[in-house]
Structure 1
Amino acid sequence: MKNRYTYCIAAMALLIITSCGNKDKKQDAAPPATPVNVVEAKKSDALYYDKYQGTVTALNSVELRSQVAGFITGIFFKEGDVVTKGTPLYEIDRRKYVAAYEQAKANLLSARANLSKAQKDIDRYNMLLKNDAVARQTVDQATAAFETSRSQVAVAQAGVTSAATDLSYATIRAPFTGRIGISQVKLGAQVSPGTTLLNTISSGNPIGVDVVINEQDINRFYKLQKASTDTTFLLQTADGTTYNKPGKVFAIDRGVNDQTGTIRVRIQFPNSKDELKDGMSCVLQVLNDDSGDRVQIPYKAVTEQMGEFFVFVSQDTTAQQRKVKLGPRIQSNVVIMEGIKPGEKVITEGFQRLRDGGKITLGPPAGAGSPDAKGGAAAPAK
């Protein structure tokens, strides 16, 4: 009986020793290295732009209104066409203004005849005065009559000028070369001076784009006004098309709006093909000052944690987690403003199972082609 107990105790001790030995082996065994893919961070040319909502606006736009009253008797243009400076556009009934002009010219002729007679009278009386053949009072009266006649000539001349001006206003001409809109009046319509809108004409080439910027950007645009390149300003129309003509700063408004802290800037673009229309909405892209030779890595290597961005960098056989400051995305890459140096090896696949300081080995990670193996994060704010 005693021997049986001895055997049982020996068997249990052997089992315990074996179990402890296996446990020690498991604790001593290091976790396997994670297979990853890496890409070298490289510097390359990075052009990126700040975006501003804009509105296309004509550099010159005028509402056409009559300066004399009457009825429309002629319309000499096709709506929507480009008209050259001085081209007749509308005609208002001219008959009354022609008559007034002719009457003014007749009044001028009469005044000049009276002046001629007064001149002859004063010459005659002055000759007689030398021989004491006429009273001094008569000479003075002739002199006064001459001055009156001369003033009447001036009045008549002004009347001719006024009548000629009214007659010229009866024909409304294009003030500059531009595109004319749809007529607001028809033949036979009665117009009143200064109140009746006839049409609107606006220049189209070149054309402007108005944007509103914060006052902090004023100095930046003043510098761009003095010096800019063909890539400084890009324009994107409402349908997503990029306008392929270079722009330049045309004007910066006189002051800042004290309510909003903003100021208006106008950018000028060539528009020979009339692709840009007055009033169109668009997006103005302005070359960022940080553009240039920048470090870029694949965007899929970036992860986001609590609003901060990180990448894993290969340090021989160890993965080091690195906090980075992102710039804009450029196709499948992203610009790294801070945190990564050129030549460093950035882990692009397999980092989902990594921790800072984790062991790695180069090779295709498990499930590298699956959606779970792809990195990436939300686009950073500028």
Structure 2
Amino acid sequence: MRDYIKQTGLWGLILLLVACGDKKAGQQQGPPPHTPVTAVKASRENAVYYDQFPATVIAVKEVELRPQVAGYITGMHFQEGSRVRRGQKLYSIDQQQYQAAYEQALANLNAAKASLVRAQQDAERYNTLAQQDAVARQLVDNARATLASAQQQVAAAQANVRQVQTTLRYTTINAPFDGTIGISQVRLGAAVTPGQTLLNVISSDNPIAVDINIDEAEIPRFTQLQRRPAAPRDSLFTLQLPNGNLYAYPGSIQTIDRAVDPQTGTLRVRLTFPNPEGQLKAGLNGNVRVKNNTSALPLLIPQKAVTEQMSEYFVYVVGDSSKVTQKKVTLGVRINDKVIVKDGLTEGDLVVTEGTQKIREGGVVKVNQK
């Protein structure tokens, strides 16, 4: 009996000690500690930067050479890939049948003219006799009708000569303007079909054009830039080549398209660049860099403060009571280790730059502000 009482008392003492320990541990635990982070204020700074737009190089003028008559190519009078001058002879098409048709048309014209001379003489003779009442009136009328018919035949023959002569000229294809001719699509002896066979392409290359598409929100800016007088060697528009190098010559706005594409909400802008060395080729892709020309200072934050989620960008902002809130932002160009924020933040917002992987929406942080 005595042993039983001792054991019971011992277990009671153990339970009491455990209860006291749990209570003491609960008193010592307290609220969770704040997550330490580093944060900086979003600020507006004076910075020179460029907005970039994907660009495609195109020819200011470009034409496909196609024959207007059928036949066989009998001559190629140029060097592929070379510069050609307006009016320069490029291709010859076999003209034997067209030359024969032209000579036949000339012969028909001469015959019609001879008939006209004879009709004029008859008409004059009958008119003289009619004045003397020496011929029937019907013969005079017939002579006048024959003269009118002969005149129409001459006019028709002349029109036919012009048509055949034009066709004959089409057997020679000349350059429509100064430019660069490409690689020929046909060779000597090839049969060509009017309006269908592509012979070659000529394009102008100095100056050369570059097309970009801008967001509709950028229209006022580019309209103002178009009206701005260009200074010598103005670097407002520069072209970045596919290899990353900058093209040596600056460009200027030539044309802003008439309407916004309703499907994409973008507007096409065409710029022109000097191309004296022929370095730029039609079809080349690159980026047009447009220098910032606004007086408003851009809002900048460190690049490392930004996190990307499914092609969207977010930052953590420290608010009241040291709680963090995740905000979606629209970014501009990157400048060294900073990035421009176009939308989503205001000047003075405290943005977390270090420790973002440890915090969550609504979490409480301890800020080490820089």
- Give 2:200's aligned amino acid: N
Runs of 5+ unmatched residues, structure 1: 1-40, 312-324, 341-353, 359-374, 376-382
Q: How does 1:180-199 map to 2 (within 5 A)?
A: 180-199=181-200
2:223 equivalent in structure 1:
222
Provide the residue aligned with 2:202 in structure 1.
201
In the alignment, the residues of structure 1 paired with residue 92 and residue 368 of structure 2 have an alpha-carbon distance, to the nearest angstrom, of 87
- Structure 2 partner of 1:175: 176
Q: CA deviation at 1:216?
A: 2.2
Distance 1:85 1:235, change over 3 A: same
1:284 aligned partner, one-letter code: V
The equivalences for 1:267-346 within 5 A come to 267-290=271-294, 307-308=314-315, 328-331=333-336, 339=347
Distance 1:221 1:113 in 2: 69
Instruction: Return the letter of the residue paired with 1:117.
Output: R
Partner of 2:86: 85
SS at match of 1:243: coil
Per-residue deviation at 1:231?
A: 2.4
CA distance in 2, matches of 1:66, 1:42: 62
How far 1:248 sits from its partner (Å)? 1.5
CA distance 1:187–1:106, shift in 2 (3 Å): same
- The Cα of 1:159 is off from its aligned counterpart by 0.9
> Do the aligned residues in 2 keep the contact of 1:303 with 1:310 (CA within 8 Å)?
no
1:254 aligns with 2:254: no
Q: Cα 1:111–1:197, aligned 2, differ >3 Å: closer, same or farther?
A: same
Q: Contact (CA 8 Å) 1:47, 1:292: kept in 2 or not?
A: no
Aligned position for 2:125 = 124
Residue in 1 aligned with 2:268? 264
Q: Secondary structure at the match of 1:129?
A: helix
| 1:34-57 Cα distance to aligned partner (Å, 9 max, x none) | xxxxxxx9975x321111111100
Q: Does 1:241 align with 2:242?
A: no
Name the CA shift for 1:259/1:339 in 2 (closer, same or farther; >3 Å): closer
Counterparts of 2:334 and 2:258, CA distance in 1: 35
The question of 1:49 aligning with 2:53 is answered no
**8 Å CA contact 2:44, 2:297 repeated in 1:** no
Worse-matched range after superposition: 161-170 or 262-271: 262-271
Matched AA of 2:102: Y
Q: Distance in 2 between matches of 1:120 and 1:355?
A: 118
Q: Is this contact kept in 2: 1:206–1:268, CA < 8 A?
A: yes
- Asked if 1 retains the 8 angstrom alpha-carbon contact of 2:62 and 2:201, the reply is yes
Unaligned 5+ runs, structure 2: 1-42, 308-312, 319-328, 349-364
The alignment-based identity, stated in percent, is 48
Equivalenced residue count is 298
Q: Give a deviation string over 1:5-62, Cα, whole Å, max 9, x none.
A: xxxxxxxxxxxxxxxxxxxxxxxxxxxxxxxxxxxx9975x32111111110011111
TM-score normalised by L of structure 1? 0.69
Aligned mates of 2:335, 2:270 — CA distance in 1? 28
Conserved 8 A contact 1:327-1:334 = yes
CA distance in 2, matches of 1:70, 1:328: 58
CA displacement at 1:228 relative to structure 2: 5.2
Say if 1:304 and 1:194 are closer, same or farther in 2 by CA, change over 3 A.
closer
- Kept in 2: contact 1:47–1:291 (CA 8 A): no
The CA distance in 1 between the partners of 2:300 and 2:219, in whole Å, is 30
* One-letter amino acid matched to 1:260: T
Whether the aligned pair in 1 keeps the contact of 2:299 and 2:347 (CA below 8 Å) is no
1:260, distance to aligned residue in structure 2 (A)? 2.0
Contact 1:228 1:248 in 2 (8 A): no
Q: 1:304/1:73 Cα in 2 relative to 1: closer, same or farther (>3 Å)?
A: closer
| Aligned equivalents of 1:332, 1:261: Cα separation in 2 | 31
Amino acid at match of 2:59: A
Moved more, 228-237 or 277-286: 228-237
Following TM superposition, by how much is the alpha carbon of 1:66 offset from its aligned partner in structure 2, in angstroms?
A: 0.5
In the TM superposition, 1:100-119 aligns within 5 A as 100-119=101-120
The Cα shift of 1:241 comes to 1.1
The residue identity in structure 2 corresponding to 1:263 is L
> Structure 1 residues 282, 77: closer, same or farther in 2, change over 3 A?
same
**Equivalent-residue separation in structure 2 for 1:219 and 1:116 (angstroms):** 72
Shift of 1:330: 3.8
Taking structure 1 as reference, are residues 357 and 330 closer, same or farther at Cα in structure 2, changes over 3 Å only? closer
Contact 2:209 2:270 (8 Å CA) reproduced: yes
Question: Which TM-score applies when normalising by structure 2?
Answer: 0.71
Aligned letter for 2:61?
Answer: N
Distance 1:248 1:120, change over 3 A: same
Give, in angstroms, the shift of residue 357 of structure 1: 8.5
User: In structure 1, how many angstroms separate the alpha carbons of the residues matched to 2:335 and 2:256?
Assistant: 31
Aligned to 2:352: none
Residue 59 in structure 1 maps to residue 63 in structure 2: no
